[in-house]
Amino acid sequence: MSTLQRIEIAGGVRHTRADKALASAFPGHSRVAFQRAFDAGLVALRGRPIKRSATVRAGDVLEFSLPEVVPAQLRAVDLPLDVLHEDKWLLAIDKPAGMVVHPGAGTREDTLVHALLAHCAGSLSGVGGVARPGIVHRLDRETSGAIIVAKTDEVHRGLARQFAARTVVKEYLALVAGVPRLMSGSVRKAIGRNLRQRHKMAVVDEAGAGRAAWTDWAVVERFGDLAALVACTLHTGRTHQVRVHLASMGHPLLGDAAYGWKANARMKRQPGRVMLHAGRLSLVHPGTGKTLDLRAPLPADFRAQIKALRES
């Protein structure tokens, strides 16, 4: 555990969240590190641990220490990886559908993290903690496509700042049921946890439990009135964002039964997964300062689904 530190909230601040106050005062530390500190009860106000959402005001003194990053105890497993880019600072992978990014309840030793531990031989950022070494962002199990991984803590923080500032270009391709009435549009609807089914997300009131979410979309190809190929640009990074936003338009993703898709007998080929692919990531490389534009080609099952739709 790091040395105990103190910060006094500056005068003129009426009220702000405790996590925002710490992140603003110590930009050299990652948001993940502060989140772990709050979760471990290591942030206190007037001697009592507080939650990250606690309100603090001018004159309040926060005391905190950061938990040490413990080396991962996970076993390295030599799994095949489709590398889009690799250098001494970071690694970009074209993640296949079906691969879980990091270990969790019910997962086996076949996650991306297990594969990275073998591929990188210990050179991964520890900022993400024991279960998520190097992981800066994530993709759902069934989503294929580009994902970037940090090899050093400094690069991890640099990438995390870009994701937080919404400067990373994130483009997805989705196959949806039905065809949108317009050729393009924008969905700006807050997303939060579904109160009835906690494993799902939902469009909610931003003033309540929701967080702002913004997706631009455009129809790339129509398949009669059966389905459409839609390109999505994400300006935020909410859980299940594309799935929730397109379903809210009345066009759930093919294969996404959780958000309203139903099998259609008119399709010659039924989707074997949620048809979503992270096709492009573009950002500033923290190590070189140059733009890194990553492209992940459509996987075989996605191409086969498009072919079958053209023939339907």
Q: Is 140 a catalytic residue?
A: yes
Q: What do you get for the CA distance between the two ends of the chain, in Å?
A: 60
**One domain, residues 120 and 235:** no
**One domain, residues 199 and 267:** yes
From CA 210, how far away is CA 202, in angstroms rounded?
9
- Does residue 281 fall inside a structural domain? yes
HSE on the CB side for 275, CA within 13 Å? 29
Beta bridge partners of 44: 49, 63
pLDDT of residue 127: 66
pLDDT of residue 236: 94
Q: Which stretches in the chain have pLDDT values below 50?
A: 71-72
Which residue has 């999505």 as its token pair? 232
CATH label of the domain that carries residue 279: 3.30.2350.10
Own/partner pairs for 94-97, CB < 8 Å, 24+ apart?
Answer: 94/144, 94/145, 94/146, 94/296, 94/297, 95/139, 95/143, 95/144, 95/145, 95/146, 95/147, 95/278, 96/144, 96/299, 97/141, 97/142, 97/143, 97/144, 97/273, 97/299, 97/301
- Structural domain for 44, as ranges: 5-64
Do residues 11 and 53 make contact, with C-beta atoms less than 8 angstroms apart? no
- Does residue 69 fall inside a structural domain? no
**One domain, residues 159 and 226:** no
In 3D space, the residue among 31, 28, 21 whose CA is nearest the CA of residue 62 turns out to be 21
In 3D space, the residue among 147, 169, 150 whose CA is nearest the CA of residue 159 turns out to be 150
CATH label of the domain that carries residue 24: 3.10.290.10
pLDDT of residue 106: 67
**One domain, residues 223 and 260:** yes
Determine which one of 60, 140, 256, 301 is catalytic: 140
pLDDT of residue 129: 63
Q: What is the DSSP string of 159-218?
A: HHHHHHHT-SEEEEEEEEES--SSSEEEEE--EEE-SSSTTSEEE--TTTT-B--EEEEE
pLDDT of residue 226: 97
Single residue among 128, 148, 163 that ends a domain in this structure: 163
The C-alpha torsion from 113 through 149 and 203 to 218, rounded to 10°, is -130
- 61 three-class SS: strand
From CA 88, how far away is CA 20, in angstroms rounded?
31
pLDDT of residue 27: 72
pLDDT (tens digit per residue) in 114-138 = 999 999 987 888 766 655 788 899 9
From CA 247, how far away is CA 244, in angstroms rounded?
5
pLDDT of residue 69: 55
pLDDT of residue 187: 97
Count of CB atoms situated within 10 Å of the CB of 230: 24
Burial category of 207 from C-beta neighbours within 10 Å (exposed 0-12, middle 13-18, buried 19 and up): exposed
**One domain, residues 173 and 154:** no
HSE on the CB side for 87, CA within 13 Å? 7
The C-alpha torsion from 204 through 97 and 94 to 109, rounded to 10°, is 100
**One domain, residues 257 and 133:** no
- Does residue 11 fall inside a structural domain? yes
From CA 145, how far away is CA 44, in angstroms rounded?
41
Q: What's the per-residue H, E or C state across 110-171? A: CCHHHHHHHHHCCCCCCCCCCCCCCECCCCCCCCEEEEEEECCHHHHHHHHHHHHHCCCEEE
- Does residue 35 fall inside a structural domain? yes
**One domain, residues 300 and 177:** yes
From CA 136, how far away is CA 283, in angstroms rounded?
13
pLDDT of residue 230: 98
